[in-house]
Amino acid sequence: MLPMDIREFVDLERYPIDQKASPAFGKLLSSVRAALAGDGCAVLPAFIRGDRIADLIAEADRVAPFGHRSFSRTNVYFSRDNPNLPETHPLRRFYDRSNSFVPADNFGEESILRGLYEWPHFPSFIQSALGERRFHRYADPLADVIINVVEEGSGFPWHFDTNNYTVTLAIQGGTAGGEFEYCPGIRTPTDENYEAVERVLDGARERVKTLMLGPGDLQLFKGRYSLHRVKPVAGDRKRYVAIFSFVEEPSMVGSPERTRQLYGRVLPIHLERAGRRADALID
């Protein structure tokens, strides 16, 4: 098969990300930047053309069996319990999380997702939109482009991201559920605002915004200061979301521990970059 042409998949009429000098590009960039400045979230609906979604779903169906399932119990900060605090404190509220990540090395040459990630106009547009000075594709061959497969009963409980931003592409929703909910700017670098976080965990809705992303929607989200969750998915159909990772350092890869937890295995590069001998791969 010939290498795929990503121009056939992205709706370039609506999102002319390859036409930097055009007024339409400038308009698009301003609107995405305004959305990010407003509440830390920008959605580009139907970024992938409607008539190509079936191809994207077929790609996800093909690799979904290679997903690695992992389970954890975390608070919204991914931190340890602190027994000195009251049980109701957000630091002490732990939730089950389960997901299945399809490692990046399952997407072949003809992959639409990889084609998009490696098409220079895509990272360049995202970088401009986010206004990041240091911005590179991730050098981790298991984690640069992945699919998160979510099945019935699972979601992603309330949390703050540990990275500054996430770039995701919705591919398929579950039969029901799977709404993305977020509380813009509920904490700041200088104020954890535990009381407001606790109220959201108790079910308060006044700060919560809800998004139902559709197939082909691209989302840029700054989740470090906005508490957010994916509500559990219901029904037989799996929820597929692609996650594109970008980093500040061009040669960075994940740590062996985290990589093994999320993807079920490590590659020699993970051990080498961690200063360990690759023959330690043989467990």
Ligand X SMILES: O=C(O)CCC(=O)C(=O)O
Site for Fe ion contains 161 (CB under 5 A): yes
Residues 6+ apart with CB under 8 A from 260: 266
Residue with tokens 């939109």: 129
Give the contact letters, 210-239, x = binds to ligand X (CB under 6 A), - = no.
-------------x----x-x---------
- Check residue 241 for interaction with ligand X (CB under 6 A): yes
Q: Among residues 25 and 158, whose Cβ is nearest to Fe ion?
A: 158
Is residue 55 close enough to count as binding ligand X by CB under 6 A? Answer: no
In this complex, which beta carbon is closest to Fe ion, that of residue 118 or of residue 161? 161
The residue of the chain with the least Cβ separation from ligand X equals: 241
Closest CA to 214 of 6, 10, 53: 53
Half-sphere exposure for 140 (CA within 13 Å, toward CB): 30
Residue whose CB is less far from ligand X, 19 or 74: 74
Number of residues that bind ligand X (CB under 6 A): 10
User: What is the dihedral angle through the alpha carbons of 29, 181, 222, 24, rounded to the nearest 10 degrees?
Assistant: 0
Residue 203 Ramachandran class (φ > 0 left, ψ -120 to 50 alpha, else beta): left
| Contact flag: residue 117 with ligand X (CB under 6 A) | no
Site map (CB under 5 A) of Fe ion, residues 86-115, x = contact: ------------------------------
Q: Which is nearer to ligand X, 209 or 276 (CB)?
A: 209
Binding of residue 245 to ligand X (CB under 6 A): no
Residues in the chain: 283
Residue 166 binds to ligand X (criterion: CB under 6 A): yes
Least distance (Å) between residue 123 CB and ligand X: 19
Contact flags string 146-165 toward ligand X, x per CB under 6 A: --x-------x----x----
Q: Which is nearer to Fe ion, 76 or 271 (CB)?
A: 76
Q: How far is the CB of 281 from ligand X (least distance, A)?
A: 27
Which of residues 93 and 159 has its CB atom nearest to ligand X in the complex? 159
| Residue ranges in contact with ligand X by CB under 6 A | 148, 156, 161, 166, 168, 180, 223, 228, 230, 241
| Residue ranges in contact with Fe ion by CB under 5 A | 161, 223
